[in-house]
Structure 1
Amino acid sequence: MTQTTPKIRIRGLRKAFGPKVVLDGIDLDVMPGTSMVIIGGSGSGKSVLLRCILGLIPADAGTIEIDGVDVLSLPTRRREAVIETIGMLFQNGALFDSLSVWENVAFGLLAAGRRHGKRPSRAEARATAGRVLEQVGLDPSVGALSPSELSGGMQKRVGLARAIAGQPDILFFDEPTTGLDPIMGAVIDGLIVDCVRKLGSTAIAITHDMASAQRIGDQAAMLYKGKLIWQGPATSLLNSGNPMVDQFTHGRREGPISMELRR
């Protein structure tokens, strides 16, 4: 792999659910060590794109390459090994209520160890979880609590800790600031940027929050009706020169998107 080879390279990706086409020929490159933010309205296909990359939803057509290897064509076990290198922060945390905080953070480590016959002891896993909780600004003692005892912001931090616990090459963030006040949203964004930089990971985030998008992203793209209609620096989101992107990022009622919705 050369320095110019994308960490993630997507070509011609299509996905439909019955007659509804959700992804319609997506082409996207994410370079190593960079953060890509994908914006778009509800139902535009953002979450479906992440799930296709993760293999949670089968793509109908196209290729998804990670480090130059088309993961869609790999045998199941090799594909699973690649997916294990991806950490994921889910929109609502997706913490397991039946597990303690530290068990949530260490869940992926224990699961991967079980599959590969190198499972850490519970004491080792708990110690690792404590160190990772510190990285996201939480005291290790929080590990003994249950998710229901945490505030929304703390749950987001625990979700981030779980995502980075395995020191993944790739990180996905699904609406990381949803449900948080502006200050806590900025705190979570700062933690995400710090974690991505320290790990040297490649990241993809999907969000409706334009402030968050600019804090997290190096590059940005907008999905509309299953297509990427614009790509560019995240710093250009508010002055992209694309009428649809400008309408979306500024939250304007009038514009090409609303005109199409009225027809």
Structure 2
Amino acid sequence: MSQTMTGTTPKIRIRDLHKSFGAKKVLDGVSMDVAQGTSFVVIGGSGSGKSVLLRCILGLITPDSGIIEIDGENVLEAPEKRREKLRSEIGMLFQNAALFDSLTVWENVTFGLLALHKITRKNARNHAGTILAQVGLDPSVGDLYPSELSGGMQKRVGLARAIAAQPDILFFDEPTTGLDPIMGAVIDGLIVDCVKKLGSTAIAITHDMASAQRIGDEAAMLYKGKLIWQGAASSLMNSGNPYVDQFTHGRREGPISMELRR
């Protein structure tokens, strides 16, 4: 079982992760530890490998090589049934919420529980009301459909679905995309509250620096598939790393240059 220098096993441990799509190298030797109960934020520009990293941990994409451990267990070597069990213990807030249009809000919130037959429909409706209240929505919203909700409400429902099964691990994919600054701050506050209440370990990917600092304990930056910096999220704006500083301050001049697409 792998351990950190402090002698405790990280909740998530990644070593030398590689993933390419054809000639395109997306992840190039990524290694990182995420401690139990930590909110870890990964920043980086479009195409830096953030989403692919998240999907590799989730098991939606198989890396070409490397190690992904959860609680010391290499999930890439685990039998399929075990991998499914590990995935079921992860809650995910997708970019743009990704709700099912044909289902009511309460059915969306409890979709995973219902699909795994862990709850009856009657109990699911009541459970959804409780979870919706935790993200600041009236339980009556459960009877609506996603098309009847604003963008901010859809994000809250997506968050409610992510925490419905009280998961050990929570993933957030660009949680403030498409929201105005005030609603973005509201969603970030809800994320922090929910993570603390559950005692979960969280990984978020974002390019929103205000959001990264609000929800993150630790932060790291991916650039061209490599983890080029890691530190406290509170130091994102003054990291001392020229790549991170250019990205976080949105400067045109610096070591990061826009690549022309052909």
What is the TM-score normalised by the length of structure 2? Answer: 0.96
Q: Provide the aligned length of Structure 1 versus Structure 2.
A: 256
Distance 2:212 2:120 in 1: 38
Q: Which residue of 2 aligns with 1:96?
A: 100
Q: Which residue of 2 aligns with 1:147?
A: 146
Distance 2:127 2:18 in 1: 39
Q: Which residue of 2 aligns with 1:42?
A: 46
Distance 1:213 1:55 in 2: 24
Structural mapping, 1:1-263, within 5 Å: 4-113=8-117, 119-258=118-257, 261=259
Percent of residue pairs identical: 78
More helix by share: 1
Q: Report the residue type matching 2:83 in the other structure.
A: R
Q: CA deviation at 1:112?
A: 2.1
Q: CA deviation at 1:120?
A: 1.7
1:20-56 CA distances to partner (integer Å, 9 max, x unpaired)? 0000011010000000000000011100001000110
Q: CA deviation at 1:144?
A: 0.1
Q: Report the residue type matching 1:7 in the other structure.
A: K
What is the TM-score normalised by the length of structure 1? Answer: 0.95
Distance 1:229 1:120 in 2: 44
Q: Report the residue type matching 1:49 in the other structure.
A: L
Partner of 2:256: helix, strand, or coil?
helix
Q: CA deviation at 1:261?
A: 4.1
Instruction: List structure 1 runs of 4+ shifted beyond 4 angstroms.
Output: none
Distance 1:71 1:112 in 2: 21
Q: Which residue of 2 aligns with 1:116?
A: none
Partner of 1:56: helix, strand, or coil?
coil
Partner of 1:231: helix, strand, or coil?
strand
Distance 2:132 2:88 in 1: 20
Q: Report the residue type matching 1:81 in the other structure.
A: K
Distance 1:178 1:186 in 2: 12
Q: Report the residue type matching 2:167 in the other structure.
A: P
Runs of at least 5 residues in structure 1 that lack an aligned partner in the other structure: 114-118
Runs of at least 5 residues in structure 2 that lack an aligned partner in the other structure: none
Q: CA deviation at 1:16?
A: 0.3
* Root mean square deviation of aligned Cα: 1.2
Q: Report the residue type matching 1:211 in the other structure.
A: A
Partner of 1:74: helix, strand, or coil?
coil
Distance 1:69 1:187 in 2: 35
Distance 2:125 2:70 in 1: 31
Q: CA deviation at 1:222?
A: 0.2
Distance 1:83 1:8 in 2: 13
